[in-house]
């Protein structure tokens, strides 16, 4: 079974081909970062227009690289949501048109299911059940993944997502877009003992998180004009890491999940990775990170999520998006 995956939920055009037996055959990613950088954030209309231009050439490129003809495919899978509506619509339209032309089904999958299944792109021995820490620009969630399609949302940020907090704080520090990686680079030069920012909601029980207050704490610190930007960046990164690590530890304790998966763009952050690895080791639980290029948005994770759903026979007639996690 060979599946073509298409991701267009935000500002990356991702296309990939996956084979049930041979794994990932080819994948391509076009990032629109430069297009949006001058505006300091993603401009939805520009994102949609750019996806339209990139999609078909990227599809041709992966088919050529894999030496596969469209008529040999078994399905086309695309991100049904969540994401920018116009951007999603471009991916859905192209995917459904191609599928119609090739006479094969088109299937929508949930963007977050793509992220949480991304570690399966590697041959690691990971299997269900596991706990997922999903940390991206739009979501910060703890999900108990019991089996394919059986996901329980057990905790989440009640305001900003962790990635959003990284991006907003980077803006306060005068760094470019996207802010997360830029802030992480600056933090590497900072000192740990220069200042300490609050660890939001750690004093309260439960698995919910909050990151919007940290941004205000950074603003207050910067206004004092006594701290170096690199020290503020370091303090911010450490506060986010400590909060995520402790909430994840509580999540492992509550669910007794035998493994931890960390997914989403912020999973590329090296300080967070180190903190989570150390905690998981203390808990005696293996931790799985997708490789950095599959942490951020990409077509490979969407192709894989679709393949898994097809293999399990979990496909709706209309290819309607599947729900990633039911609310508590």
Interface contacts to ligand KG4, rule CB under 6 A: 10, 136-138, 163, 166-167, 178-181, 184, 264-266, 268-269, 296-297
Taking the complex as a whole, the smallest distance from the CB of residue 317 to ligand KG4 amounts, in Å, to: 28
Inter-axis angle of helices 179-187 and 162-172, nearest 10: 70
Q: Which is nearer to Zn ion, 139 or 168 (CB)?
A: 139
DSSP H/E element including 96: helix 85-102
Q: Which one of Zn ion, ligand KG4, none interacts with residue 286, CB within 5 to 8 A by kind?
A: none
Taking the complex as a whole, the smallest distance from the CB of residue 105 to ligand KG4 amounts, in Å, to: 25
Quick one: which segment of 174-182, 246-254, 270-278, 296-304 binds Zn ion (CB under 5 A)? 296-304
Q: Which is nearer to ligand KG4, 230 or 297 (CB)?
A: 297
The whole-angstrom separation of Cα 272 and Cα 280 is: 12
Q: Which of 54, 57, 65 is nearest to 27 (CA)?
A: 65
Query: 159 to 188, contacts with Zn ion by CB under 5 A?
Result: none
Q: Is the peptide bond before 82 cis (omega within 30 degrees of 0)?
A: yes
Q: Which one of Zn ion, ligand KG4, none interacts with residue 80, CB within 5 to 8 A by kind?
A: none
Taking the complex as a whole, the smallest distance from the CB of residue 112 to Zn ion amounts, in Å, to: 7
Q: Which is nearer to ligand KG4, 154 or 184 (CB)?
A: 184
In contact, 14 and 29? CB cutoff 8 Å: yes
Q: Which is nearer to ligand KG4, 109 or 315 (CB)?
A: 109
Residue carrying structure tokens 């759903």 = 309
Say which residues have a Cβ less than 8 Å from residue 228's Cβ, sequence separation at least 6.
Answer: 190, 194
> Which two structure tokens, joined as six digits, stand for 177?
């877009």
One residue of 136, 241, 255, 269 binding Zn ion per CB under 5 A: 136
> Which two structure tokens, joined as six digits, stand for 16?
């990939």
The whole-angstrom separation of Cα 27 and Cα 14 is: 7
Q: Which one of Zn ion, ligand KG4, none interacts with residue 105, CB within 5 to 8 A by kind?
A: none
Q: Which is nearer to ligand KG4, 66 or 266 (CB)?
A: 266
Q: Which one of Zn ion, ligand KG4, none interacts with residue 184, CB within 5 to 8 A by kind?
A: ligand KG4
The whole-angstrom separation of Cα 252 and Cα 258 is: 8
Q: Which residues are annotated as a binding site?
A: 111, 115, 134-138, 167, 180, 269, 297
One residue of 279, 297, 298, 325 binding Zn ion per CB under 5 A: 297
Taking the complex as a whole, the smallest distance from the CB of residue 55 to ligand KG4 amounts, in Å, to: 18
Dihedrals φ, ψ of 210, to 5°? -150, 135
In contact, 242 and 275? CB cutoff 8 Å: yes
Q: Which residues are annotated as a binding site for substrate?
A: 134-138, 167, 180, 269
Taking the complex as a whole, the smallest distance from the CB of residue 296 to Zn ion amounts, in Å, to: 7
Q: Which is nearer to ligand KG4, 117 or 315 (CB)?
A: 117
Q: Which one of ligand KG4, Zn ion, none interacts with residue 14, CB within 5 to 8 A by kind?
A: none
Q: Which of 112, 171, 167 is nearest to 140 (CA)?
A: 112
Taking the complex as a whole, the smallest distance from the CB of residue 264 to Zn ion amounts, in Å, to: 6
In contact, 309 and 25? CB cutoff 8 Å: no
Collapsing DSSP states into helix, strand and coil, what is residue 53? helix
> Which two structure tokens, joined as six digits, stand for 199?
């660890």
Q: Which is nearer to ligand KG4, 240 or 315 (CB)?
A: 240
In contact, 234 and 194? CB cutoff 8 Å: yes
Q: Which one of ligand KG4, Zn ion, none interacts with residue 321, CB within 5 to 8 A by kind?
A: none
> Which residues form the interface with Zn ion (CB under 5 A)?
136, 297
């Amino acid at each position: 079974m060979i599946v073509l995956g298409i991701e267009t939920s935000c500002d990356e055009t991702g296309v990939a081909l996956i084979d049930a037996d041979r794994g990932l055959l080819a994948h391509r990613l076009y990032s629109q970062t430069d297009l949006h950088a001058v505006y300091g954030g993603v401009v939805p209309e520009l994102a949609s227009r750019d996806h339209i231009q990139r999609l078909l050439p990227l599809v041709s490129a992966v088919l050529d690289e894999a030496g596969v003809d469209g008529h040999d495919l078994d399905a086309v899978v695309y991100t049904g949501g969540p994401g920018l509506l116009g951007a999603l619509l471009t991916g859905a339209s192209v995917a459904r048109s191609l599928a119609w032309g090739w006479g094969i089904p088109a299937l929508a999958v949930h963007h977050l299911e793509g992220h949480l299944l991304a570690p399966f792109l590697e041959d690691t021995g990971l299997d269900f059940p596991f706990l997922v820490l999903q940390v991206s620009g739009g979501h910060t969630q703890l999900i108990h993944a019991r089996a394919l399609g059986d996901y329980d949302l057990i905790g989440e940020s009640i305001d900003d997502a962790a990635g959003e907090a990284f991006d907003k704080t980077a803006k306060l520090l005068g760094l470019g877009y996207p802010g997360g990686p830029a802030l992480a680079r600056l933090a590497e030069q900072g000192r740990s003992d220069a200042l300490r920012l609050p660890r939001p909601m750690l004093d309260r029980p439960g698995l919910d998180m909050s990151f919007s207050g940290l941004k205000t704490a950074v603003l207050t610190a910067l206004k004092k004009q006594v701290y170096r930007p690199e020290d503020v960046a370091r303090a911010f990164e450490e506060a986010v890491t400590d909060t995520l690590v402790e909430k994840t530890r509580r999540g492992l304790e509550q669910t007794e999940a035998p493994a931890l998966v960390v997914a989403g763009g912020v999973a590329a952050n090296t300080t967070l990775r180190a903190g989570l690895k150390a905690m998981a080791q203390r808990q005696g639980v293996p931790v799985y990170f997708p490789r950095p290029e599959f942490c951020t948005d990409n077509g490979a994770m969407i192709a894989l999520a679709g393949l898994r759903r097809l293999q399990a026979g979990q496909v709706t007639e209309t290819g309607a998006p599947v729900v990633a996690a039911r609310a508590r």
